[in-house]
Chain A
Amino acid sequence: MAATTAEPVPRLQPPEPLARVLAQLKNLGFGLLFLWPSILLFSAFVFYPLIKSVYLGFYESDPLGNQGDFVAFDQYRSVLGGSEFRDSLWITFKFTLLTVVPGIVLGLGLAMLANQKLPGISIFRTIFASTVATSVAVASMMWLTLLNPTTGLVTWILDQLGQPRLNLLNDPDWALVAVSLTTIWLNLGLATIVFLAGLQGIPERLYESARIDGASRLGTFLHVTLPMLSPTLLFVTVIGTILAFESFGQIHILTRGGPLDETKVIVYSIWEDAFQSFDYGVASVKAVGLFILVLGLTALQLRFLERRVFYQ
């Protein structure tokens, strides 16, 4: 490079085609040198399994978990069109609704409380964010005690309110609500953090002009806060939906999919088929179904992520 010109201005002149090709090849070499660890890992643990899952769906499994007969699309048709998959899909939708909507309302409420300018507010911010530091297992073990039907705090609160006692985790009508309660609490810290960041991104002058215009508190909330928060709202909705679709740990610990399969979300049913019944074929079909569902959701998330980072 240095040999071609003595003056350090070669960038202004169009390089010769050959030199350009050589430079690009050299960059390609360096690029691959820097990229190969990621490429190798993604190939082995993301792309290969994805293709393998689709492939496994074409084969039935024998009771020992070995690959059985090739059935082409028959298994896809029977599993994805079957009532079991439909039921778990319906439960997953209910679970999503039960966790995302309250999560947004509570998260936004907490963030607005934490956005006040008061001395000592940072202590409250830490407390509100604290559930981010609890893992699925920790949260589930904590709620297991709270939900204990004879000695738990929830039973005590129901007694104080004069309501009939409920064995939430063992009642087919209430188990999903109980799991949702745990999940809402678990994800609340994250929602609060994201909403608080969104609120702090709203320019103060907007509130000042609203004040000058004599807008009420509700009016300010509806016409300034909510519209300015719309990207954050979308973000939290998408994240919450994906988290709900991928939930497993709290169900594995709290209800094991029961009672009467009322908490058997898609991921739990995949796990059960694959690792309890060793039916890799059926489980793979369900996994491919889940992939297609989450694909739409993640596409949305990615588009948002891109916008967010570009305009930061």
Chain B
Amino acid sequence: MATKSEALATRAVTAERAVRRRPWGRYALGYLALILAAAVIIMPIYMTAVNALLPKQAIVAYPPKLFPSDPQWGNFPKALDQVPLARYMLNSTIQTGVIVVGQLVTSSLAAYAFAFLRFPGRGLLFLIFLSTLMVPLEVSIIPNYQTVSTMGHVLGGHILSIDSYQALTIPFLATAFGTFLLRQHFMTIPKELRDAAAIDGYGHLRFLLFVVIPLSRPVLASLAVFAFLSAWNQYLWPLLVTNDDNMRTVQIGLAGLRGREIDSFNVVMAGTLIAAMPMFAMLIFFQGQLVRGLTAGAVKR
């Protein structure tokens, strides 16, 4: 603890010195570069917002309007009205929620086995787990699609079928990346803790639930945010397994706006902004966890 606060203090001092040493010219130059870069990065999002607020006739005008002089807030309810956006969002929320919770559960369990239990074949099994990272989703889509459509004829399709939440979620409930990430963290938990808990009569499951999980909250949060990001952004798989408009996820629904009977493109842009909102909220509220999850291993699966 002492060393950590010491390090922090040193860093604060060097930072302060660096700021104090900076002449005003360099200060201004730094901000100028930052503002220019930020303007370029944000331009597509800004233009979408502008277009979403333009009246119908202004969106086809040239030169493009860079500022909405007469903002049409009504475009947003119009988008929700003309497209089942709310339904798409609900589908995406269910899909993402189930995947995040499922991945946390399966990978916590698996990581516990790999970190705390010694049994023959453990190393080999771990390697087999890791090897799943080498199979991209795109390689397995054809048989997986066949599995889902075949299962649609089994037991009335209640287990798995096209146009079901099961099809959107079940193939993604296990994650080798998450298992790996959690195992690395679990291995830093002292074995003595397990021995002490065993003396207190804690079985493996209770030890996992009441000792390991609470000690791993930051890693679990990073994994959750990472899982949220990749589940919410899925494109190819939801495109394949949803035909019914009522089962479309936000991403597929959004892409479908192009060919739909829509008032005009400003409404499409309003819909795009609405669809982007949950992720922007994630970015603002969970930036720390997001950054940690992404830097730990940006594997898009």
Chain B 156-175 per-residue mask, 1 if CB under 8 angstroms from chain A, else 0: 00000000000000110110
Contact among B61, B119, B134, B251 with A24 in the assembled complex (CB-CB below 8 Å): B119
Residues of A within 8 A of B33 (CB): 113
CB of B96, distance to nearest CB on chain A (Å): 11
By beta carbon, the residue of chain A nearest B171 is A45
- Interface assignment of B82: CB less than 8 Å from any CB of chain A: no
Q: Are B61 and A151 in contact (CB under 8 A)?
A: yes
Residues of B within 8 A of A30 (CB): 113, 117, 119, 204
- Interface assignment of B202: CB less than 8 Å from any CB of chain A: no
CB of B279, distance to nearest CB on chain A (Å): 4
By beta carbon, the residue of chain B nearest A275 is B240
Residues of A within 8 A of B117 (CB): 27, 30-31, 34
Contact among B62, B110, B138, B184 with A151 in the assembled complex (CB-CB below 8 Å): B62
Contact among B110, B142, B147, B276 with A134 in the assembled complex (CB-CB below 8 Å): B276
- Interface assignment of B213: CB less than 8 Å from any CB of chain A: no
Q: Are A24 and B120 in contact (CB under 8 A)?
A: yes
For window 190-216 of B, CB contacts with A under 8 Å fall at 195, 199, 204
- Interface assignment of A86: CB less than 8 Å from any CB of chain B: no
Knowing A31-B117, A35-B113, A142-B45, say if A291 contacts B139 (CB, 8 Å). Answer: yes
Please give the number of chain A residues whose Cβ is less than 8 angstroms from any Cβ of chain B in the complex: 100
- Interface assignment of A308: CB less than 8 Å from any CB of chain B: yes
Residues of B within 8 A of A221 (CB): none
Q: Are B174 and A37 in contact (CB under 8 A)?
A: yes
CB of A189, distance to nearest CB on chain B (Å): 8
Q: Are B113 and A197 in contact (CB under 8 A)?
A: no
By beta carbon, the residue of chain A nearest B235 is A249
Contact among A134, A242, A267 with B279 in the assembled complex (CB-CB below 8 Å): A134
Q: Are A117 and B134 in contact (CB under 8 A)?
A: no
- Interface assignment of A46: CB less than 8 Å from any CB of chain B: yes
- Interface assignment of B30: CB less than 8 Å from any CB of chain A: yes
Residues of A within 8 A of B135 (CB): 46, 50, 291
Q: Are B268 and A141 in contact (CB under 8 A)?
A: yes
Residues of B within 8 A of A159 (CB): 63
Knowing A31-B113, A193-B291, A302-B130, say if A41 contacts B61 (CB, 8 Å). Answer: no
Binding site for B on A (CB under 8 A): 8, 11, 24-25, 27-28, 30-31, 34-35, 37-38, 41-42, 44-50, 52-53, 56, 109-110, 113-114, 116-119, 121, 124, 126-146, 150-153, 155-156, 159, 185, 188, 190, 193-194, 197, 204, 239, 242-243, 245-246, 248-249, 252-253, 267, 270-271, 274-275, 280, 283-284, 287-288, 290-291, 294-295, 298-299, 301-302, 305, 308-310
In the complex, 27 of the A-B residue pairs with CB atoms within 8 angstroms, ordered by the A residue number, are A31-B113, A38-B106, A42-B128, A42-B129, A52-B142, A56-B142, A113-B34, A114-B34, A116-B34, A128-B38, A129-B291, A130-B42, A131-B41, A135-B235, A135-B279, A141-B48, A141-B269, A142-B48, A142-B272, A143-B44, A152-B64, A270-B141, A284-B142, A294-B134, A305-B299, A308-B297, A309-B181
